[in-house]
Amino acid sequence: MILTYFIGSGGGVPNKRGLPAILVRREGFDALFDCGEGTQWRMMEHGLSFMRLKLIAITHMHADHVLGLPGMIASMSMYGRKEPLLVMGPSEIKDFIEDTIKRTHFRSTFEIRFIEKYEDENIRIVPFPTCHTIESQGYIFEEKDKINIDAEKLKKEGITDWKVIRKLKRGERVEVNGKVLLPEDYLIVKQGIKIAYTGDTAPCEKVISSVRNVDLLIHDSTFLDEKEAHEYGHSNSIDAATVALKANVKRLALFHISSRYENTDELLANAKKIFKKTFVAEPLSYYIVNYPKE
């Protein structure tokens, strides 16, 4: 199970929807995607600790996606953080943070490590190219597949030796009493959950190919039906739905909605005409991405 919290789901200028910030939580690993102005305050107000964050990934350097980051780093230090913080982002992110720290005469109590991608034994976080007006990238948060052994099948065949089971799980062929056991006959692969977040983007093939088959796509849906949307490097809600359909994703969340829309019913209705499994990422709501029933 992965929890996705939409801390802020608006864009442009501060508004009641909040500026872009998405917290993805999996079994004690917290990652924040974008950090608009006011993110740390909204997290504190709603019981989401920014001190638990392991990684922060920024999609691009426009103010509404990044201006909350220096203040959050400063607060982490003032609260005595010691654990290193991993930061991903476009090429300018390192200079932006280091220059801000220098010019505000701030000394961090923890190390900030700048990385291009993240991987451990359970998850992988990688960027993908998007189509905005400046250097930009989206992110895939991906669980690694889990491999289990079909113990019941082995038991029915009279095989209970843990050494044999361990070898099969490692993908090795095993011979037992003259019979060759092939690992593919006894291994059960449970596919990991995949979430994609585009940040700001116009609809484009680079995004479609990158987010194919994900369980949840969080896509720029800034406008209802603006002819200039693509010129601005943004998408209308029908664009987001079209990307979701072409990429064969399981769920679509409309995100980065302009403050001009008090009511999002029409944006959602237009999108659902194309891709039914669409919802609006309401501010301070969350979405649970779970494994499919076997």
Tokens matching residue 193: 């959950």
Catalytic hit among 34, 64, 220, 239? 64
CA 290/CA 285 separation, integer angstroms: 16
Residue pair 139/88 in contact by the 8 Å Cβ criterion: yes
Give the angle 20-22-24 at the CA atoms, nearest 5°: 170
What single-letter amino acid sits at 146?
K
Tokens matching residue 257: 């909605």
Q: Does the annotation count 64 as an active-site position?
A: yes
Q: What are phi and psi of 185, to 5 degrees?
A: -85, -15
Residue-wise burial string across 49-65, b where 16 or more C-beta atoms lie within 10 A, e elsewhere: ebeebebbbbbbbbebb
Residue pair 195/24 in contact by the 8 Å Cβ criterion: yes
Residue pair 180/174 in contact by the 8 Å Cβ criterion: yes
Cite the active site residues. Answer: 64
